[in-house]
Structure 1
Amino acid sequence: MRTWSKLIVTYTKPLVAKLTKPRTYTHTEASQSVSKAYITPVTPKEAFGDLATRDLLRGLVSLALARTPGVATYGGKFLESIHRSGPRILKDFVDGIVRRTVFGHFCAGETLDECERNTQHLRRLGVKCLFDYAAEREPGTVLSEEDLRKEEAAKEYAAELEIETIRRACQLGKGDFACIKITALAVIEHLEKLNAMIIKDWKKSADKEASIRGYSVDPELSFDFEKLEIFKSHFSDEELRILRNDVFRIQRLCALAAESRVPILIDAEHYCLQDAIEYIAMGMQKRYNTPQESYVFTTIQCYLKDSERREKLVTRIAEQFGFRLGLKLVRGAYLHYEREYASQRNIESPVWNTIEETHRSYNTIASREIARVSQGKTSLILATHNLESIRNAIKNIEQLNMRHDNEHFHFGQLYSMADATTASLRKAGFQVVKYIPFGPLEEVIPYLSRRLLENQDILGSTSVDMSYFYKELMRRITRK
């Protein structure tokens, strides 16, 4: 056995070294060489000792596939095409491969029961889970009456699943989170209209710095759409009825989250919808957040050129109404879409031109909001795989004499990515949460396609994961 172990190590090591070699991209989070002085190192056994060997092997295969430019660029489109018009036998064959590789690695399962089983190793490390039914929709679709009826059923299904997610998180009693995408719960065409209306209203403002997008539309953020003339001039009565029902559906989930003490995160999405999403999110925060607790969170994407303005506006709303701001900070998840969308319409791209500008925006906002956490004004999730941002955040925390286990501050990473970083942060005593996507394969294909494409932008961290997977496999083979 020892001889075979040596042979396996000898012949696989060069291949894995090549696969795990860090690669640099134009907009990558992990393209910089950063000191790990502020992160407690972990061994492969500490990070992955609880994972089954088949999961380690699947991780190596899936990340190797994700690092392949052709697969990343065209894999998602191929999947969508097969599901849309491919023969059943081909669809079943492809689905079988995808379930055993990238879906099995990047998603925690198709059901909540599968999620619960597949996240037990994270719980043993003391990592919290942020459950997300990963169905999402792209803007630009105009629905017929028949489509709207089908959409209504899909929205109700998503809402019922989210209710079960909140209840399950509450029962687990581990301080877990829930997450919703507004596009899974509301008609996108109406969100686009609301977004355009908010921007148009904002542009009329004499003092744009003092004006809050959405706030001037509805000063109390009360969603009494029928009582506001501006809504009547942009929406038909039927559209207002559907919009009101969609917002009420979202409100029902936020109310349950607050009652169950399970914080719910409203995800950021496409730029052409984001003002509408933030308008709804801040209205929900006004209702359910208190001066002491944040039960509803909004998300700011720092790859947007106006991210700092957005951060200042949401903090102003929180101060105006006297509640604790709930904020998740991300770099952004729709980079390729936003650039293509802007190029097709010959408009300026809303995202920064360089990764350095995104890093600067992220770290600046993070520093400001960490200070607000120390003042009792913000509950913050820093969602990042970037070691420099993590190091800067820890430095700020220590300068402010904040406890590592402050319940209003969390680091966050994606499921099955940057797992070594997650384990290291947890070992150092920080609160850490993993974003746990789940759902039927057909529903999460848009998420999976985006994840494959985005991985070209964060492969610096996946090379570390692959190295850890390999070392843990070798440890088991050689029985060290």
Structure 2
Amino acid sequence: SAETDCRRLLSSASASASAPARASCSFCAGVGGELLRLVVAWLLPESGKSLWSARAFPLFVCEMLARRRLLLAARRQGFAASATPRLRPLAMLTGAEPAAKPLKPLLDFSDTEAVFRKLSTSELVRAYLIFNLCRIKAVSQNAAALLATSRGVLGEGLTRKLVKSTFFAHFCAGEDAVTIRPTIAKLREAGVGGILDYAAEADLTDTAAEDVGEATSSLERPQQARAYDYESELQCDKHVDIFLNCIDAVSAATPDGFAAIKLTALGNPALLKRMSTCIVELRRLFEKFDANGDGVVSRAEFEAAYDEYFAAQPGDTETTPFSKAALMKEFEVDGGVDYLEWTIRLRLEDLPTLTERCHTRGPLYDAALRGEEGLLLAALRQRVETLAAYAETKGVRLMIDAEQTYFQPAIDNCVLDLQQRFNGKRDAAGTPKAPVIFNTYQCYLKATPEALAQDLERADRLDYNFAAKLVRGAYMYTERELAADMGYPSPVHDTIQDTHDCYNGCVAMVLDAIAGGKGAELMVASHNQDSVERTLAGVKARGIADGKDNRNIGVYFGQLLGMADHLSFGLGGQGYAAYKYVPFGDVDEVMPYLIRRAQENSDFLGGVGKEIKLIQTELVRRIRG
């Protein structure tokens, strides 16, 4: 099969002296060749397991066959041997995303000897094999079904060992805060910090949800959610202990490091969805008050809308909670009220009392959190505040992960409260301090630029440090499916280029805030080399790093463990603040996370093809060296 493939490829290449030639067939350049190399390595006795014989032999045979066929073809065409096109070992198409405009890079990420110097050859081979497997659509898009089949055929134990030695070993650091230490230490040696992430995930319909009101019926449709297996409030408390241990591990192993948390671990996912519904209804209420749609509620609009939707009660004064007079004084309506001020003044906890004044029961009344829901919300806030306060005492930053759009308004609401409390610009002694809480913005969502601009403005008005992690996003498939099922427009950008443009624009927005002395910090969490290079160029153009250590300018770079190593190690090796997202957890619990990694590496959102090419180049360099 390989020789037939070689014949077809090389006969077409020899038709023109200028045609690019491949040094190997797709078999040897792809998964088949890698499997062959691994099999050879396993079959040889210990004394004969040399890297050359195990990995170079198939490549050597294929390349010699290719050279021989090209020479014969060239002679038949009358070309001199010297005119034979120069062969490039294991040349493959890249999946790199296009840049809007070419940039002169400030760093060389193609120096594979430098960027991969901390990775062993076996780690590179494993990465090469896994990335190629992920690019096979039949594998990546049916990973869950393949795992189920493997359990049925091989058994649970053998399947678990197989996953643990391959995908888990590549994308996760260990199962607990102890087993991850060697990975953290290795990253530190390469100048790369760690963002520890307890990566267990579960489907929303798998939650043994306590009934949280009638609205939980909307959760019956299966959704792949970034949620933990929720059994009880006690389980959420246990997750707090896990995150506290995670913060301790960061403090001990990665000074000024990060810990990542998910709010679906700290409260009932059904409650988070109810909170999100409530926040959406609050926005709709603002739009009703803003009669002329200019984005500002005037005094006249406020009075008219209040009388239309809410009832006055006997004895109302300026001190009566949520009376018209009290709200007008609270909002200072004479100067007009914009949406940002609206969200600052009205809290979710206020809605039960406010909606008791409604003339008729409507969506806002139904969305308000009452009774047990209010207690669950208070418990959720207490858990996240406990983690934030502990992280602050340990000198650790917290990154709150983004999740699906039906959770995100609730997550943002909690994070903005935390930022106002823990991201103050100075401590009690008046000393400038860095932010503790980072929110996450998904740039594949059309609404992200507006949300980012509002949150920057909020931080400026309330005088606290803004801190953001920008990602492209990880729930595109489910978001589009849900939008199609529910009959509303997809919240996700229509094209990948739109997502790239949105991401780069959001980076520029935060860099402008940093350069303007707004007290902002940014984590560029991207595997896209073009975005990284644009960020570096933006930092330089704005003079953000002038006279400063690049690790202390408030601009950080993050990539997932096992992905985009050339970026992480390249940045860290050149003195930039580079971090790896380091997931950990029990193998069975993190399986949904691993499935999403496989889907992302199918080359739809990321330039994994370029990474494969760099790994190939380094493997060939080591073999020949």
Q: Which of 29, 34, 57 is residue 7 of structure 1 equivalent to?
A: 57
- Structure-2 change in CA distance of 1:243 and 1:165 (3 Å): same
- Structure-2 change in CA distance of 1:402 and 1:96 (3 Å): same
User: How far apart, in 2, do the equivalents of 1:113 and 1:159 lie?
Assistant: 17
- Offset, 1:32: 5.0
Match of 1:21?
Answer: 93
Superposed CA deviations along residues 421-455 of structure 1, whole A, max 9, x for unmatched, are 22222333321111111111221122112221122
* Worse-matched range after superposition: 348-357 or 1-10: 1-10
User: How far apart, in 1, do the equivalents of 2:206 and 2:343 lie?
Assistant: 25
Match of 2:215?
Answer: none
The one-letter amino acid paired with 1:415 is L
Alignment check: 8 A CA contact 2:191 2:573 kept: no
Match of 1:102?
Answer: 167
User: How far apart, in 2, do the equivalents of 1:50 and 1:149 lie?
Assistant: 39
- Structure-2 change in CA distance of 1:11 and 1:286 (3 Å): farther
User: How far apart, in 2, do the equivalents of 1:19 and 1:70 lie?
Assistant: 23
Match of 2:599?
Answer: 453
Alignment check: 8 A CA contact 2:114 2:570 kept: no
Q: Which of 124, 130, 140 is residue 72 of structure 1 equivalent to?
A: 140
- Offset, 1:2: 10
The one-letter amino acid paired with 2:94 is P
Q: Which of 404, 409, 417 is residue 270 of structure 1 equivalent to?
A: 404
* Worse-matched range after superposition: 5-14 or 189-198: 5-14
- Offset, 1:159: 1.4
User: How far apart, in 2, do the equivalents of 1:149 and 1:451 lie?
Assistant: 23
Q: Which of 156, 160, 174 is residue 237 of structure 2 equivalent to?
A: 156
Superposed CA deviations along residues 90-128 of structure 1, whole A, max 9, x for unmatched, are 222222211111121111221122222123332112111
Q: Which structure 2 segments of 5+ residues have no match?
A: 1-49, 67-87, 213-228, 297-336, 356-363, 426-432
| 1:402 and 2:474 matched | no
Residue correspondences, number:
469
User: How far apart, in 1, do the equivalents of 2:125 and 2:483 lie?
Assistant: 40
- The SS at the match of 1:119 is helix
User: How far apart, in 2, do the equivalents of 1:107 and 1:228 lie?
Assistant: 46
The one-letter amino acid paired with 2:596 is R
The one-letter amino acid paired with 1:30 is E
User: How far apart, in 2, do the equivalents of 1:44 and 1:352 lie?
Assistant: 34
Alignment check: 8 A CA contact 1:133 1:158 kept: no
Alignment check: 8 A CA contact 2:195 2:258 kept: yes
| 1:219 and 2:345 matched | yes
User: How far apart, in 2, do the equivalents of 1:327 and 1:154 lie?
Assistant: 29
Q: TM-score, normalised by structure 2?
A: 0.69
User: How far apart, in 1, do the equivalents of 2:526 and 2:62 lie?
Assistant: 31
| 1:468 and 2:614 matched | yes
The one-letter amino acid paired with 1:447 is Y
Match of 1:30?
Answer: 97
Q: Which of 98, 113, 129 is residue 45 of structure 1 equivalent to?
A: 113
- Structure-2 change in CA distance of 1:293 and 1:423 (3 Å): same
- Structure-2 change in CA distance of 1:275 and 1:387 (3 Å): same
User: How far apart, in 2, do the equivalents of 1:283 and 1:145 lie?
Assistant: 26
User: How far apart, in 2, do the equivalents of 1:434 and 1:303 lie?
Assistant: 21
- The SS at the match of 1:451 is helix
- The SS at the match of 1:303 is coil
Instruction: Give the percent of matched residue pairs that are identical in Structure 1 and Structure 2.
Output: 26
User: How far apart, in 2, do the equivalents of 1:3 and 1:437 lie?
Assistant: 33
- The SS at the match of 1:394 is helix
The one-letter amino acid paired with 2:372 is E
| 1:261 and 2:328 matched | no
Alignment check: 8 A CA contact 1:133 1:437 kept: yes
User: How far apart, in 1, do the equivalents of 2:274 and 2:52 lie?
Assistant: 67
User: How far apart, in 2, do the equivalents of 1:392 and 1:430 lie?
Assistant: 14
Superposed CA deviations along residues 288-331 of structure 1, whole A, max 9, x for unmatched, are 11124210010111111111111012112211211000111111
- Structure-2 change in CA distance of 1:460 and 1:325 (3 Å): closer
| 1:186 and 2:267 matched | yes
| 1:113 and 2:178 matched | yes
Match of 1:26?
Answer: none
* Worse-matched range after superposition: 46-55 or 99-108: 46-55
- Structure-2 change in CA distance of 1:273 and 1:149 (3 Å): closer
- Offset, 1:224: 5.0
The one-letter amino acid paired with 1:356 is Q
The one-letter amino acid paired with 2:505 is T
Alignment check: 8 A CA contact 1:22 1:459 kept: no
* Worse-matched range after superposition: 437-446 or 450-459: 450-459
- Structure-2 change in CA distance of 1:157 and 1:431 (3 Å): same
The one-letter amino acid paired with 2:113 is K
RMSD: 3.1
Alignment check: 8 A CA contact 1:212 1:313 kept: no
The one-letter amino acid paired with 1:409 is V
Match of 2:284?
Answer: 203
Q: Which of 410, 415, 419 is residue 561 of structure 2 equivalent to?
A: 415
- Structure-2 change in CA distance of 1:406 and 1:40 (3 Å): farther
- Structure-2 change in CA distance of 1:11 and 1:107 (3 Å): farther
- The SS at the match of 1:412 is strand
- Structure-2 change in CA distance of 1:309 and 1:254 (3 Å): same
- The SS at the match of 2:139 is helix
- Offset, 1:3: 8.2
- Structure-2 change in CA distance of 1:253 and 1:214 (3 Å): farther
Alignment check: 8 A CA contact 2:404 2:479 kept: yes
Larger CA Rg, structure 1 vs 2:
2
- The SS at the match of 2:491 is coil
Higher relative contact order (CA 8 A, sep 6+): 1
The one-letter amino acid paired with 2:474 is A
- Offset, 1:41: 3.8
* Worse-matched range after superposition: 48-57 or 140-149: 140-149
> Matches of residues 140-179 of structure 1 in structure 2 within 5 Å?
143-145=208-210, 150-179=231-260
User: How far apart, in 1, do the equivalents of 2:510 and 2:184 lie?
Assistant: 29
Match of 1:369?
Answer: 510
- The SS at the match of 2:583 is strand
User: How far apart, in 1, do the equivalents of 2:277 and 2:481 lie?
Assistant: 20
- Offset, 1:203: 1.0
User: How far apart, in 2, do the equivalents of 1:398 and 1:311 lie?
Assistant: 23
Q: Which of 295, 298, 322 is residue 463 of structure 2 equivalent to?
A: 322
- Structure-2 change in CA distance of 1:212 and 1:446 (3 Å): farther
Alignment check: 8 A CA contact 2:400 2:438 kept: yes
User: How far apart, in 1, do the equivalents of 2:492 and 2:420 lie?
Assistant: 29
Alignment check: 8 A CA contact 2:340 2:454 kept: no
* Worse-matched range after superposition: 137-146 or 314-323: 137-146
User: How far apart, in 2, do the equivalents of 1:468 and 1:379 lie?
Assistant: 31
Superposed CA deviations along residues 243-281 of structure 1, whole A, max 9, x for unmatched, are 211221111111111121201000110011111110001
Q: Which structure 1 segments of 5+ residues have no match?
A: 24-28
